[in-house]
Amino acid sequence: MCGLQRYFISSSNFSDNEVIITGDDVHHITRVMRNHIGDKIICNNDEGKAALCRISLIADNTVTAEIEAWLVESVEQPVNITIAQGIPKGDKFELILQKGTELGATCFIPYQAARSVSLWDDKKQAKKMKRFEKIVKEASEQSHRNKVPTIKKAMNLNALLNESKNYDVAIFAYEEQAKVAHYQSFGRIINELLPNQNLLVCIGPEGGFSENEADLLKESGFHPVRLGPRILRTETAALYVLASISYHFEELRCDECQQ
Ligand code: SAM
């Protein structure tokens, strides 16, 4: 299956035995991949279920594909990980979206941190959102994800503290923890995570967290954690988090089940 092109199609386009594909995906199927009737593709619905499909009809603006089988695979991380990323400079946020999607993030929240140099007003954000959604969709197709991560509107600290009430565990990667001998270990947090829990991870911008921010995050139940002893760039930190959780749940445990 792994060589087949994957498309993310709204569940409303699925019927019992076929999928109606519209929009940019039609162009990709007919012009980029030059598929024909009888060719196979994989269609993922909103719930992350993947169907092996056979193209049965190609019209000007739609492609119809028969559902041949529902695939049981899931490559989603066992924990739902939301990255609240301190808005970084330039286009680093796009890099974090792409790499974070490959590493299994469930959701991204641009966080207007106290030391974020870039300020995203609503107009600026609306313009960016289209590009952001294209990045996570393409990265999901490339990495054979079952689901496309969601991207929420930018939040300030108050909104983020409020949002954190929807999560089982909330942490913030606190650089000051990398500068002290007795630090809060990220490993302990991961060890206590349970499959299907919702984890919220807040990462600071290039300038890090202000003391006031750190205090308010702690008071609201965010655990400050260290991401190793080195100071990572803001765009590296989220990737360290996602890779660590993947290793713990998807590789380390796999070894155990091989024994
Ligand atoms: N200006 C800060 C300083 O000099 O200490 C560094 C901020 S760092 C470039 C950007 C963000 O990455 C931090 O706010 C934190 O969220 C995260 N980060 C980087 N290295 C980290 C580490 N070793 N432990 C925890 N968080 C880290």
- Pocket probe mutation, ligand 1, options 96, 184, 223, 232, max atoms within 8 Å of Cβ: 232
Torsion-angle region of 52 (φ positive above 0: left; ψ -120 to 50: alpha; else: beta): beta
The pLDDT of residue 183: 87
The pLDDT of residue 228: 95
Is 234 a pocket residue for ligand 1 (Cβ < 6 Å)? yes
Tokens matching residue 83: 């990255």
Q: Label residue 22 by pLDDT band (50, 70, 90).
A: very high
DSSP secondary structure, 16-77, as one string? SSEEEE-THHHHIIIIIS---TT-EEEEE-TTS-EEEEEEEEE-SS-EEEEEEEEE----S-
**From CA 28, how far away is CA 197, in angstroms rounded?**
36
Residue 2 has pLDDT above 80, yes or no: no
Q: Label residue 254 by pLDDT band (50, 70, 90).
A: low
Q: Tell me the sheet residues that pair with 110.
A: 85
- Pocket probe mutation, ligand 1, options 92, 175, 225, max atoms within 8 Å of Cβ: 175
Q: Are 227 and 186 in contact (CB under 8 A)?
A: yes
Where do you find CATH 2.40.240.20 in the chain? 6-71
The atom number, within ligand 1, closest to the CA of 203 reads 16
Is 179 a pocket residue for ligand 1 (Cβ < 6 Å)? no
CATH topology of domain 80-258: Alpha/beta knot (3.40.1280)
Residue 154 has pLDDT above 80, yes or no: yes
The pLDDT of residue 184: 85
Where do you find CATH 3.40.1280.10 in the chain? 80-258
Q: Are 195 and 250 in contact (CB under 8 A)?
A: no
pLDDT digits (tens, 9 = 90+) for 54-68: 999 999 999 999 999
Q: Label residue 259 by pLDDT band (50, 70, 90).
A: very low
Distance 86 CA to ligand 1 centre (A): 11
Write the CATH number of the domain with boundaries 6-71.
2.40.240.20
Residue 18 has pLDDT above 90, yes or no: yes
Distance 83 CA to ligand 1 centre (A): 15
Distance 189 CA to ligand 1 centre (A): 18
Which residue in the block uniquely carries the two structure tokens 């603006």? 61
Residue 42 has pLDDT above 90, yes or no: yes
The atom number, within ligand 1, closest to the CA of 173 reads 26
Average model confidence (pLDDT) across the chain = 94
- Phi, then psi, of 14 in degrees rounded to 5: -100, 135
Is 178 a pocket residue for ligand 1 (Cβ < 6 Å)? yes
The pLDDT of residue 257: 47
Q: Label residue 169 by pLDDT band (50, 70, 90).
A: very high
Is 23 a pocket residue for ligand 1 (Cβ < 6 Å)? no
Residue 226 Cα distances to 31, 214, 241, angstroms: 48, 13, 10
Q: Are 120 and 151 in contact (CB under 8 A)?
A: no
Q: Which residue stretches of the chain are H helix?
A: 24-27, 92-102, 122-142, 157-163, 186-192, 211-219, 234-246, 253-258
Query: What's the per-residue H, E or C state across 157-179?
Result: HHHHHHHHHHCCEEEEECHHHHH
Distance of CA 167 to the CA centre of its chain: 16
- DSSP label at residue 73: -
**From CA 85, how far away is CA 98, in angstroms rounded?**
13
Mean pLDDT of 167-184: 93
pLDDT digits (tens, 9 = 90+) for 178-233: 888 888 889 999 999 999 999 999 999 999 999 999 999 999 999 999 999 999 99
Residue 127 has pLDDT above 90, yes or no: no
Closest residue (by CA) to atom 6 of ligand 1? 208
Is 204 a pocket residue for ligand 1 (Cβ < 6 Å)? yes
Distance 148 CA to ligand 1 centre (A): 27
Distance 72 CA to ligand 1 centre (A): 39
Is 137 a pocket residue for ligand 1 (Cβ < 6 Å)? no
The pLDDT of residue 185: 87
CA angle 90, 94, 99 (to 5 degrees): 135
